Chain A
Amino acid sequence: MSARFRSWMLFSVIALFLGAFLLWPLAHVFRKALFDSNGFTVFYFKALVTDPLQIRAIGTSLFIAVMVTIGCVIVALPPAWLVARRTFPGKNMISALMLVPLILPPFVGAVGMKILFARSGSLSTLLMHMGIVSGPIDWLGQFPLVGIVVMEVMHLFPILYLNLVAALANIDPSLEEAAGNLGASPWRVFKRISLPLAGPGLFGGIVLVFIWSFTELGTPLVFGYRRVLPVMIYDSVSEVGTNPMGYAQVTLVLIISALGFWVSKYISGNRGNVATLGRLSVSTKEKALSLPGMLATYTLFGIVLFVATLPHISVILVSCGKRWFLTVLPEEFTLAFFGRALSMELTQTALFNSLFLSICAATLDVFMGFSIAWLCVRSRIRGGDLLDTLAMLPLAVPGIVIAFGYLGCFSGHFPNTYLDPRFNPMLLLIASYSIRRLPYIVRAIHAGLQQVSSAYEDAAANLGATPLRIIRRITLPLVAANLLAGAILCFAFSMLEVADSIILAQTERFYPITKAIYALMDILENGVNVAAALGVWAMALLGAAMLWASCLLGKKMGQMFHAS
């Protein structure tokens, strides 16, 4: 009886939190966009879709999202297949390196890339030295969209890569062998068997990439390209109380994201679990590569990794380069910016803020994630599934929407309290960070719990352990790896969170790292170098965290970055 009561208490607390910090702000956004003092209205939507400026921004954003998604598939597929199906020396290390792009928010990478590809940057200089072009070219000024797409592909393809490796590893190899045995060439086997079977995994990743790139705020902001929907939303933040257009834009973003999410869920659901029918018999047979195959493989990984780490390299160069103008590489190197990145008051507060916020968010997520997964998988109370669905909702809700919703909702209702981001955004930042990462951690723990036979818990109850003691002595230790990995990832991504941070933190003493980097770039003397140095510090921290997490989770890491 009391166990049941406790389950319901837990359920209520979490439902209340999600209701207050997820559903209410979303409802507020909808209400403001669709209702005015005269009741229901589509006036603002009409204004949105009849204004050519807005239409162009929406179109551009969709175009970027589609191109980024296609780009990610192209970049992620061959490496994923090689890692899932072939064996070659150094595979584990290379596979881990593929996650490196995730540790740098694309807009920080953009800081470095801007210099690399500027009119007076490395590429122009290199091409002039080689005599290929006669004068400097402003690559980003001429092809801003290409720059944005490339930046985001380089950052997001690991998500698809992780999904694909996991999906391919789940396919019973005998299904592919049977196709080969009946006369299909390797390419035909891939096209007719592997790809359809990996479909659900692929779509789960695709929709994440799509939503992510559709709502990416930092990269276009740094490249100075303001004609995209996220930036226009950002620009309307200042008039959130007076102009409902921002709400209409946010609602549109939300609808498109939810649509993508629903489509991917529908497709995944339709394909069913065909791919994993034979999971029990999976004994992944990874074939060895021939010498030419091996060379081709290393070349492929080399190119992918080089291009993917170009932003990192450029950021590092910027962080330690002095006097870098019309030369391929900086003329002088210095470590001074690293010191300055840690000694300025702005950066120190930002580092402290980010660490504090991310640790709080990760702790909150571990608590909520474990509770939700446990309520669904183990206690099986009615409504557990509802909570699970609610926890997955943030996958379809971009950070920019949540941040905008908080600003509009809480500033208005609780002015000058800890719920007012203009007064003190810390509480709301923790809420938004944790809610945005909740789906990943719920999924990680959910998977862990399902792999742990309930007989372990039954045996403990049978030998006299109370329900709470069972959780402490049996359940928690058995899912500890999933729990820890989920927490690390949650921490890492909270450190990287851009949209929420930029929109919610409006005074300097509350800036998280990402907003501090953004602010530093406007400081005239060497601001960019210090921003880059701060980025390198963050990168080192996150790299270590990701490496640790991927060691704990192994191939299971792919299951977390999946939208259905």
Chain B
Amino acid sequence: MHSNNSSMIEVRNIAKRFGSVTALDNIRFSVSRGELFFLLGPSGCGKTTMLRILAGLETQDKGSILYNGKDVAELPPHKRGAPMVFQNYALWPHMSVYENVAFGLVESKTPKKEIVARVNQALEQVNLFGMGNRMPNQLSGGQQQRVVLARALVMNPHTVLLDEPLSNLDAKLRSEMREEIEALHKNTDITFIYVTHDQIEALSLADRMAMMDNGKICAIGTPSALYHRPPSLFCATFLGEANALQGTVLNVVGNMVITDTAIGKIKAVYQGNTPTIGTSVNCIIRPENIRIDGAGDNSAQAIILSSRMTGATTTLLLDVNGTILRAVMLNEYGSNPAAGTMVTAVFKATDTIVVTS
């Protein structure tokens, strides 16, 4: 079977062009066995192309892909053993739910008895037991999604590839399915590679994720690391909301950086290479890390431009000498500050990250 310590899937220097468009540029990452790995990026960033190359539905121009240490370049799609959950489901309309789920087993010449047992088990796994006789067009969107999942899981695959599986569902169903996918993943040791543009899906489900932009991977890490210590401005702004203050590096002390910005001197932390004094950088502060009371490493006088209640939180727009900062705070009945109030915006140095690109 599979060795446990090596990576299940390794992607090495994959490149792909469509005509004059570079879809993928030197993509490399590895996914270990049983991991729930995300490819996250805006539409058109190449993440679906990457997934289709993994499935063998597209061929890369350069680079190689290893499943369990073996190069799969010569393997046609039907021999890759990595079933895919398609964005538009691709449930064959001329086959019943049962026939759809049984398809792969029939192709692999599984004995009939075993097919029946495994299909029923897979349908049960996705809470569709007894629905085998329905046709796909008699199912709701959520049910169709479950059939597609069952169709993949029934193969007992080493890996399942998911292409924006929840994008066609409404918000409520989406969060339900998210939980179900999480449960399915926990109960199996199948590797999931999951493509999405929805950062909430990625942040809430991923063991690790790769962020893609313009055919390149710009960051790989756990959701928490990428959110709290973004390696780049793009990463910071695509994942959640961020205030970005442009500044010049004045001094570096230990892992602290002093920068000069439009709202004064700011203490921040950095990741990776030490910033060079005198260079231009961006200071990233998450809105929820800015407070308007107490004391902190960084503070500035501000006027509240607007105060908007959005349910659990209130979003404030703060004007600091013409620079706008966005702050988010938990609601407390009767104590929300009004527009026009003078306040002090306060944030910690450890919540302020310097990025050079």
A463 and B104 within 8 A (CB)? yes
Interface residues of A in 223-241 (CB under 8 A from B): none
Interface residues of A in 418-475 (CB under 8 A from B): 453, 455-456, 458-467, 469, 473-474
List of B residues within 8 angstroms of A463 by Cβ: 78, 83, 103-104, 107, 151-152, 155
How many residues of chain B are within 8 Å of chain A by beta carbon?
A: 26
Interface residues of B in 135-154 (CB under 8 A from A): 151-152
User: B80 contacts the other chain (Cβ, under 8 Å)?
Assistant: yes
A461 and B90 within 8 A (CB)? no
A464 and B94 within 8 A (CB)? no
For the complex formed, measure the closest distance between the CB of A164 and the CB atoms of chain B, giving whole angstroms. Answer: 30
User: B13 contacts the other chain (Cβ, under 8 Å)?
Assistant: no
For the complex formed, measure the closest distance between the CB of B100 and the CB atoms of chain A, giving whole angstroms. Answer: 9
User: A59 contacts the other chain (Cβ, under 8 Å)?
Assistant: no
B107 and A464 within 8 A (CB)? yes
Q: How far is the CA of A455 from the CA of B87 in the complex (A)?
A: 9
Q: How far is the CA of A460 from the CA of B82 in the complex (A)?
A: 12
Q: How far is the CA of A478 from the CA of B136 in the complex (A)?
A: 14
B78 and A464 within 8 A (CB)? yes
Q: How far is the CA of A453 from the CA of B89 in the complex (A)?
A: 11
Nearest residue, chain A, Cβ from B154: A463
For the complex formed, measure the closest distance between the CB of B31 and the CB atoms of chain A, giving whole angstroms. Answer: 18
List of B residues within 8 angstroms of A458 by Cβ: 52, 55, 57, 77, 84, 86, 90
B86 is contacted by which of A455, A473, A478 (Cβ under 8 Å)?
A: A455
Q: Which of B81, B104, B155 has the most CB of A within 10 A?
A: B104
List of B residues within 8 angstroms of A456 by Cβ: 90, 92
User: B261 contacts the other chain (Cβ, under 8 Å)?
Assistant: no
User: B5 contacts the other chain (Cβ, under 8 Å)?
Assistant: no
B93 and A455 within 8 A (CB)? no
For the complex formed, measure the closest distance between the CB of A57 and the CB atoms of chain B, giving whole angstroms. Answer: 53
B103 and A462 within 8 A (CB)? no
User: B134 contacts the other chain (Cβ, under 8 Å)?
Assistant: no
Chain B window 52-77, contacts with chain A (Cβ cutoff 8 Å), 1 for yes, 0 for no: 10011100000000000000000011
Nearest residue, chain B, Cβ from A2: B76
A464 and B108 within 8 A (CB)? yes
How many residues of chain A are within 8 Å of chain B by beta carbon?
A: 19
B107 and A455 within 8 A (CB)? no
Q: How far is the CA of A335 from the CA of B158 in the complex (A)?
A: 73
A461 and B77 within 8 A (CB)? yes
A459 and B86 within 8 A (CB)? yes
Given known contacts A462-B57, A462-B84, A453 and B90 CB-to-CB distance under 8 angstroms: yes
User: A477 contacts the other chain (Cβ, under 8 Å)?
Assistant: yes
Q: How far is the CA of A477 from the CA of B107 in the complex (A)?
A: 16
B90 and A466 within 8 A (CB)? no
B88 and A478 within 8 A (CB)? no
Interface residues of A in 462-506 (CB under 8 A from B): 462-467, 469, 473-474, 477-478
Q: How far is the CA of A458 from the CA of B103 in the complex (A)?
A: 13
A459 and B108 within 8 A (CB)? no
List of B residues within 8 angstroms of A461 by Cβ: 56-57, 76-78
Nearest residue, chain A, Cβ from B74: A1
B94 and A477 within 8 A (CB)? yes
Nearest residue, chain A, Cβ from B148: A459
User: A551 contacts the other chain (Cβ, under 8 Å)?
Assistant: no
For the complex formed, measure the closest distance between the CB of A245 and the CB atoms of chain B, giving whole angstroms. Answer: 53
User: B2 contacts the other chain (Cβ, under 8 Å)?
Assistant: no
List of B residues within 8 angstroms of A478 by Cβ: 92-94
B76 and A3 within 8 A (CB)? yes
List of A residues within 8 angstroms of B82 by Cβ: 462
User: B186 contacts the other chain (Cβ, under 8 Å)?
Assistant: no
Q: How far is the CA of A462 from the CA of B148 in the complex (A)?
A: 12
B88 is contacted by which of A455, A460, A473, A474 (Cβ under 8 Å)?
A: A455
List of A residues within 8 angstroms of B151 by Cβ: 459, 463
List of B residues within 8 angstroms of A464 by Cβ: 78-79, 81, 104, 107-108, 155
For the complex formed, measure the closest distance between the CB of A5 and the CB atoms of chain B, giving whole angstroms. Answer: 13
Q: How far is the CA of A464 from the CA of B93 in the complex (A)?
A: 19
For the complex formed, measure the closest distance between the CB of B186 and the CB atoms of chain A, giving whole angstroms. Answer: 24
Q: How far is the CA of A463 from the CA of B77 in the complex (A)?
A: 8
List of A residues within 8 angstroms of B88 by Cβ: 453, 455
For the complex formed, measure the closest distance between the CB of B173 and the CB atoms of chain A, giving whole angstroms. Answer: 21
Q: How far is the CA of A459 from the CA of B104 in the complex (A)?
A: 10
For the complex formed, measure the closest distance between the CB of B160 and the CB atoms of chain A, giving whole angstroms. Answer: 10
List of A residues within 8 angstroms of B155 by Cβ: 463-464
List of B residues within 8 angstroms of A466 by Cβ: 76, 78, 107
For the complex formed, measure the closest distance between the CB of A491 and the CB atoms of chain B, giving whole angstroms. Answer: 24
A459 and B84 within 8 A (CB)? yes
B78 is contacted by which of A455, A462, A477 (Cβ under 8 Å)?
A: A462
Given known contacts A3-B76, A469-B107, A462 and B83 CB-to-CB distance under 8 angstroms: yes
Q: How far is the CA of A460 from the CA of B90 in the complex (A)?
A: 9
List of B residues within 8 angstroms of A469 by Cβ: 107
For the complex formed, measure the closest distance between the CB of B6 and the CB atoms of chain A, giving whole angstroms. Answer: 24
List of A residues within 8 angstroms of B83 by Cβ: 462-463
For the complex formed, measure the closest distance between the CB of A524 and the CB atoms of chain B, giving whole angstroms. Answer: 57
For the complex formed, measure the closest distance between the CB of A124 and the CB atoms of chain B, giving whole angstroms. Answer: 58
Q: How far is the CA of A201 from the CA of B111 in the complex (A)?
A: 52
Q: How far is the CA of A3 from the CA of B86 in the complex (A)?
A: 24
B78 and A465 within 8 A (CB)? yes
Q: How far is the CA of A467 from the CA of B79 in the complex (A)?
A: 11
For the complex formed, measure the closest distance between the CB of B259 and the CB atoms of chain A, giving whole angstroms. Answer: 49
Q: How far is the CA of A382 from the CA of B93 in the complex (A)?
A: 31
A462 is contacted by which of B77, B92, B94, B108 (Cβ under 8 Å)?
A: B77
B103 and A460 within 8 A (CB)? yes
Q: How far is the CA of A459 from the CA of B83 in the complex (A)?
A: 8
List of A residues within 8 angstroms of B76 by Cβ: 3, 461, 466-467
List of A residues within 8 angstroms of B79 by Cβ: 464
List of A residues within 8 angstroms of B107 by Cβ: 460, 463-466, 469
Q: Which of B52, B57, B152, B155 has the most CB of A within 10 A?
A: B57
A465 is contacted by which of B56, B103, B152 (Cβ under 8 Å)?
A: B103
List of A residues within 8 angstroms of B77 by Cβ: 458, 461-462
List of B residues within 8 angstroms of A462 by Cβ: 55-57, 77-78, 80, 82-84
Nearest residue, chain A, Cβ from B93: A478
List of B residues within 8 angstroms of A459 by Cβ: 84, 86, 90, 92, 151
List of B residues within 8 angstroms of A474 by Cβ: 92
Nearest residue, chain A, Cβ from B104: A463
Q: How far is the CA of A463 from the CA of B157 in the complex (A)?
A: 10
For the complex formed, measure the closest distance between the CB of B190 and the CB atoms of chain A, giving whole angstroms. Answer: 15
Q: How far is the CA of A464 from the CA of B105 in the complex (A)?
A: 8
Chain B window 267-300, contacts with chain A (Cβ cutoff 8 Å), 1 for yes, 0 for no: 0000000000000000000000000000000000
Q: How far is the CA of A11 from the CA of B79 in the complex (A)?
A: 26
Nearest residue, chain B, Cβ from A469: B107
Q: How far is the CA of A462 from the CA of B107 in the complex (A)?
A: 11
For the complex formed, measure the closest distance between the CB of A367 and the CB atoms of chain B, giving whole angstroms. Answer: 21
List of A residues within 8 angstroms of B103 by Cβ: 460, 463, 465, 473
Q: How far is the CA of A462 from the CA of B152 in the complex (A)?
A: 9
Q: How far is the CA of A459 from the CA of B79 in the complex (A)?
A: 13
A455 is contacted by which of B56, B90, B104, B108 (Cβ under 8 Å)?
A: B90
Q: How far is the CA of A478 from the CA of B77 in the complex (A)?
A: 21
List of A residues within 8 angstroms of B152 by Cβ: 463
For the complex formed, measure the closest distance between the CB of A263 and the CB atoms of chain B, giving whole angstroms. Answer: 33
List of A residues within 8 angstroms of B90 by Cβ: 453, 455-456, 458-459
A-B contact pairs, 22 of them (CB 8 A): A455-B86, A458-B84, A459-B92, A460-B92, A461-B56, A461-B76, A462-B55, A462-B83, A462-B84, A463-B155, A464-B78, A464-B79, A464-B81, A464-B107, A465-B103, A465-B107, A466-B78, A466-B107, A469-B107, A477-B94, A478-B93, A478-B94
Residues of A at under 8 Å CB distance from B? 3, 453, 455-456, 458-467, 469, 473-474, 477-478
**Which 4 pairs, one residue from A and one from B, show the smallest C-beta to C-beta distance?**
A463-B104, A461-B77, A455-B90, A459-B90
With A455-B86, A458-B52 given, can you name 18 additional A-B contacts, CB distance below 8 Å? A3-B76, A455-B88, A456-B90, A458-B90, A460-B103, A460-B107, A461-B78, A462-B82, A462-B84, A463-B103, A464-B78, A465-B104, A466-B76, A466-B107, A467-B78, A474-B92, A478-B92, A478-B94
